[in-house]
């Protein structure tokens, strides 16, 4: 299939309230996405006296914190500056920009309802498009909506040639990062996504684990806990293993719920032609799981929790291929069922993919070989 917009530059932007990453992205002959090599990473330059409200207070619609509007404007202007630098000298009839925000968004993907270490923003998309016009940047199409970091990671797993769901494989993406997020993927699209609420039973993100270690009298935070674990700190390793096991069990519950709802997987019926399933561990947790020094306290307990959780409905899980029917007792998940994200740029690629809706088919399966 030919590219309908071969001359339109494509950008993927992932922005947290403190850091912005933007990349030029190109489309491969197989309708996948890969980095075009040009990349910018910048810090957000916000008002120095701004102290953001905790996420739970932002979600409760508390009054604005001092300087919150200024902080929101600074965030938008920093994103626009990064795009301007990345597109300087780039030729093309306008640019397509896909925007992913590490924040909690409204249903339209226009408003930042809450963000860790950052401000709430009204219509962030309109504000960014205005800021880009002020920099004489022509958009090939309106940005339309922002997507969440979780959705971007999931789309990246679909569209990257290295992605765990490349080729249209269905599955569940667990984004284990500062917070814990989930995305349900089917037929090359993100069907739904969510982020665990602060203080909930599955509030097991790396930020939360670091806070718990601080409260216990140890030094640690979202970055430090991984460093300590690699250095053999038993407390850090135990915290990671306990969280990984709990998240594996939670992933099993989500898969079993999906099994019950999915008419293409009738329990006890003919499963021929039913869609394949896969669990992808992405985000910072994916990088930890890929580290051989941490396999025994991240990947192994996650897989064990997943298998034990699926064993709660062992017969149905085996008939559906979620458990290995030929495995030993206790049951095990099939080889290749758990995939660790391999592409560090998956979130940026996913952001870029969100700008292609309506341009290329959502299903990432290749239909023709490259010429």
Residue pLDDT, tens place only, 125-160: 999 999 999 999 999 999 999 999 999 999 999 999
Query: Is residue 3 over pLDDT 80?
Result: no
Q: Tokens representing 252? A: 């099993």
Average pLDDT of the residues in 289-318: 89
pLDDT in tens, 28-85: 887 789 998 889 999 998 898 899 988 888 998 778 888 999 999 999 999 999 999 9
Number of H helices and E strands in the chain, helices first, is: 11, 12
Residue 351's pLDDT is what?
96
Q: What is the DSSP string of 220-280?
A: --TTHHHHHHHTT-HHHHHHHHHHHHHHHHHHHHHHHHHHHH-TTS-TTS--TTPPP--EE
Residue 142's pLDDT is what?
94
Q: How far is CA 102 from CA 8, 113, 149, 329, 340, in A?
A: 26, 11, 5, 41, 21
Residue 109's pLDDT is what?
95
pTM, entire model: 0.88
> Per mean pLDDT, which of 49-53, 77-81, 217-221, 251-255 is the most reliable?
77-81
Confidence of residue 274 (pLDDT cuts 50, 70, 90): very low
Residue 32's pLDDT is what?
86
């Amino acid at each position: 299939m030919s590219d309908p917009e071969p001359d339109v530059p494509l950008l993927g932007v992932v922005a947290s309230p403190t850091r912005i990453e933007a990349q030029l992205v190109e489309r491969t002959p197989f309708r996948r996405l890969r980095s075009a090599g040009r990349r910018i990473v910048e810090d957000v330059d916000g008002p120095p006296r701004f102290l953001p409200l905790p996420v739970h207070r932002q979600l409760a619609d508390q009054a604005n914190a001092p300087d919150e509007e200024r902080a929101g404007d600074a965030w938008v202007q920093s994103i626009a500056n990064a795009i301007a630098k990345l597109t300087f000298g780039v030729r093309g009839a306008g640019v397509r920009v896909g925007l992913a925000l590490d924040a909690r968004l409204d249903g339209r993907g226009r408003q930042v309802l809450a963000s860790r270490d950052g401000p709430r923003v009204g219509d962030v998309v309109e504000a960014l498009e205005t800021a880009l016009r002020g920099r004489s940047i022509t958009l090939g199409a309106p940005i339309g909506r922002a997507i969440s970091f979780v959705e971007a990671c999931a789309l990246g797993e679909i569209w990257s040639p290295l992605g765990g769901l490349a080729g249209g494989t269905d599955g569940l993406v667990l984004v284990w990062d500062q917070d814990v997020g989930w995305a349900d993927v089917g037929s090359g699209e993100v069907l739904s996504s969510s982020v665990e609420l602060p203080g909930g039973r599955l509030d097991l993100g790396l930020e939360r684990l670091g806070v718990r270690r601080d409260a216990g009298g140890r030094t640690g935070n979202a970055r430090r806990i991984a460093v300590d674990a690699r250095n053999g700190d038993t407390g850090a390793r135990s915290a990671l293993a306990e969280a990984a096991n709990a998240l594996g069990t939670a992933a099993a519950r989500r898969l079993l719920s999906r099994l019950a709802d999915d008419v293409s997987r009738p329990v006890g019926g003919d499963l021929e032609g039913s869609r394949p399933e896969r669990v992808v561990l992405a985000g910072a947790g994916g990088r930890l799981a890929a580290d051989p020094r941490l396999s025994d306290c991240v990947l192994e307990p996650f897989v064990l929790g997943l298998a034990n959780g699926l064993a709660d409905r062992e017969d149905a899980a085996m008939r559906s291929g979620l458990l290995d029917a030929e495995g030993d007792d206790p049951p095990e998940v099939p080889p290749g069922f758990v995939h660790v994200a391999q592409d560090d740029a998956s979130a940026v690629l996913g952001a870029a993919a969100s700008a292609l809706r309506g341009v290329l088919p959502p299903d990432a399966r290749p239909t023709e070989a490259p010429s």
